Amino acid sequence: MVTRQRPRSTRLLVVALVSISLAVITLDYRQGDAGPLAGVGTAAKSVMAPMQRAVTTVIEPVGDFFSGLAHLPSLADENERLTEENDALRGQIASDAYEQEQYRGLLDLMELRGSLDPTSVPALVIANGISNFEYTITIDKGSNAGIEVDQPVATGFPGSPMLVGRVVQVTPSSSDVRLIIDRDYAVAATVEGTEEAGLVEGQGDQDLRMSLVGEGTVIEGDESVFTQGYEVNGEAGLYPPGMLIGQVSRTIEAENVTQQYVEVRPAVDFETLQFVLVLQARTEA
C-alpha cells in the first residue's frame, strides 16, 4: 500500500536529511576522535556489545559449521582430508565436542599468556566489523579491564604467539581491534632465516603484502614472517618482536628493488577466531 503524499514535503524531507548527513560528515571529519560524535559512537557500541555477545554465544556453533562448509571446495582434491574435515564438522555440531574444543583453545591461550605476558588481558571475540571495507573485531573487554588504544592483540599456542591486530577504539566494556589484514594496517617485520626486513601491509581478503628492504636475499617461500622489534629515539615499537604474522606465499620479482615484495599468508584464521590476548607490557615474545 503506497499512500498518496505531497511530493514537495517529501523532497524537503530528503533535502533536510541529506543536509544533516553532510553536517555529520563534516563535523566528524574535523573533530576526529575527540568530538561529541565520537562519544555517541562509543555509547552506541557500549549498548550493542552485550547484545553482540549474546548473539555470538548462540550462533557460534552454527557459524563455525558454515565457515567450515565454505572451506570445503579448496580441499576437494584431498579426499582423505575432506572426509576427516567432514567428521570434524559433524563432531563440531555436537555441542559437547564444541565446548571441549573451546576449552582446549582457552587452555592454550592461558598457557601462552603465562609465558608471554602475565599481565595481558584475555578476551572473547563478540562481533566483527559490519562493513566490507574494514576488517575489525569487537572483544568483550574494555577500559574497565585496563585496555587502551594501540595495545597489540595476540592469539596462538604456548611458545608461538601470533599477531592479530591492535586496539583502535575502547568503550568501558568492549574494544574494537583492527586486524592485520585491514588495508589501513602496517607492521614492521622480518623474514625467518634472513636479514630481510620490511613493512607488512594488509590487503583485505587477499594475502598480506611485505615490501622488501634488503637486496639480493633469496626467499623461497614458506618462510615465517615475524614482528620486528625496533626503537626510535629510545621509544620502543608497538609490538613485541618475534610474534608470528604468517608464511611467505609468493615472491613478486621486479626490476626495481624498491618495487619488490612478497605475499604473506596470515597465520591466524580470522573467521574462526574466538579468544585473544590484549598485551599490556612490552615484552619479548
Partner 1 sequence: MTRRVLVTIVVIVTALLLQSTLFWNLKLLGVRPELMYLITIVIAILEGPNEGAITGFAAGLAQDFMLNQPKGITALTLTLVGYAAGLARQYIVSPSPLLPTILVGVGTAAGIAFYQVVAFLLGQLEETFSYAIRVTLLTALYNAILTPIVYPLLRRVIEGSRPTRVVRF
Query: Which lies closer to partner 1 via its Cβ, residue 30 or residue 104?
Result: 30
Cα separation, 207 vs 17, in Å, equals 40
Helices and strands: H and E segment counts in the chain: 4, 14
CB of 136 to partner 1, least distance (A): 6
Cα separation, 170 vs 139, in Å, equals 10
CB of 113 to partner 1, least distance (A): 25
Query: Which lies closer to partner 1 via its Cβ, residue 171 or residue 190?
Result: 171
The amino acid sitting at 216 is G
Query: Which lies closer to partner 1 via its Cβ, residue 21 or residue 119?
Result: 21
CB of 234 to partner 1, least distance (A): 30
CB of 254 to partner 1, least distance (A): 18
Binding site for partner 1 (CB under 8 A): 1-3, 5, 9-10, 13-14, 17-18, 20-29, 37, 40-41, 44-45, 48, 51-52, 55-56, 59, 62-64, 66-67, 70, 126-134, 136, 138, 168-169, 176, 178, 183-184, 204-205, 271
CB neighbours of 252 closer than 8 A, spacing ≥ 6? 260, 261, 262, 263
CB of 243 to partner 1, least distance (A): 23
CB of 5 to partner 1, least distance (A): 6
Cα separation, 150 vs 15, in Å, equals 39
Cα separation, 241 vs 244, in Å, equals 9
Which has the closest alpha carbon to 182: 162, 159, 199, 205? 205
Query: Which lies closer to partner 1 via its Cβ, residue 48 or residue 238?
Result: 48
Query: Which lies closer to partner 1 via its Cβ, residue 84 or residue 271?
Result: 271
Can you spell out the DSSP letters for 137-169?
A: EEES--GGGT--TT-EEEEEETTEEEEEEEEEE
Cα separation, 69 vs 86, in Å, equals 9
Query: Which lies closer to partner 1 via its Cβ, residue 129 or residue 241?
Result: 129
